Amino acid sequence: DAKTTQPPSMDCAEGRAANLPCNHSTISGNEYVYWYRQIHSQGPQYIIHGLKNNETNEMASLIITEDRKSSTLILPHATLRDTAVYYCIVGSQGGYQKVTFGTGTKLQVIP
Amino acid sequence: GAVVSQHPSWVICKSGTSVKIECRSLDFQATTMFWYRQFPKQSLMLMATSNEGSKATYEQGVEKDKFLINHASLTLSTLTVTSAHPEDSSFYICSAREPGQGPQLAFFGQGTRLTVV
């Protein structure tokens, strides 16, 4: 599995957009970019994923660069409940996934 | 999406005793489940892969005799921490996903907080 690099922490003002970057320069052609988050003392929660096109759902948007070596997760209007550790993971669909977590980004949403 | 549930959510046990944690797939059959451990302010670390009807596969450095995994049915995997010590205190998380279940990498349980006193 490709390795990912994320900043260890970020702050964001409540109501503003939170932009969380991720580098995955060794991603292979059939690997997707996944984002999960973990609120304190809970299991990881799926947010969004993409292959090469930008994606949007009710939780967030995912912007993937054309060379696929990096991506950005965007929370358009951050709330205090978005305070969590955000993990960027690359992996292939199908089969049994042994998910490897990096260090993630601790996002603190400030009132 | 699919639901994975763990029980208990938290447990406190005395040093030297054993503790069993259950991981259930509620609405799908899981031939493979994964167990993770997470220490405070650290990321999730994969401990082992649980395979229904066969022995679990442990990651390097994880003691198989201390962390007993039993995957006796297609909806249940258990992790037993034997002779627990304070250093085993951690947050334990399981996950599962079957082929054809859609795009998510895995479905995670809510985690079990183990405190050994």
Nearest CA in chain B to A46: B104
Which pLDDT does position B61 carry in this prediction?
A: 95
Is A93 in a helix, a strand, or coil?
Answer: coil
CB < 8 Å to A34, chain B: 104-105
Q: Which is more confident, A21 or A94? A: A21
Tell me the per-residue pLDDT of B26-60, one tens digit each, with 9 for 90 and over: 988 988 999 999 999 999 999 999 988 889 999 99
Provide, rounded to the nearest whole percent, the portion of chain B with pLDDT above 90: 80
User: For chain B, what is the mean pLDDT?
Assistant: 93
The low-confidence residues of chain B, meaning pLDDT below 50, are none
Which pLDDT does position B99 carry in this prediction?
A: 74
Tell me the per-residue pLDDT of A38-56, one tens digit each, with 9 for 90 and over: 999 899 999 999 999 899 9
User: Does the pLDDT value for residue A6 go beyond 70?
Assistant: yes
DSSP state, residue B38: E
Structure tokens at B22: 């259950």
Beta strands in chain A, from DSSP E residues, in sequence order: 9-13, 18-23, 31-38, 45-50, 55-56, 61-64, 70-75, 84-92, 105-110
Nearest CA in chain A to B42: A103
Amino acid identity at B30: A
Q: Which of A1, A98, A100 to mutate to test the interface with B (most CBs of B within 10 A)?
A: A98
Tell me the per-residue pLDDT of A73-96, one tens digit each, with 9 for 90 and over: 999 999 999 999 999 999 887 666
Instruction: Give the confidence band of A100 by pLDDT, cuts at 50, 70, 90.
Output: confident
> Are B55 and B49 spatial neighbours (Cβ–Cβ below 8 Å)?
no
Q: Which of A97, A105, A106, A108 to mutate to test the interface with B (most CBs of B within 10 A)?
A: A97
Which pLDDT does position B43 carry in this prediction?
A: 95
Q: Find the CB nearest A41 among B4, B97, B111.
A: B111
Instruction: Give the confidence band of A70 by pLDDT, cuts at 50, 70, 90.
Output: very high
Residue with tokens 């797939």: B25
Residue with tokens 């965007």: A74
Q: CA–CA separation, B96 vs B106, rounded Å? A: 6
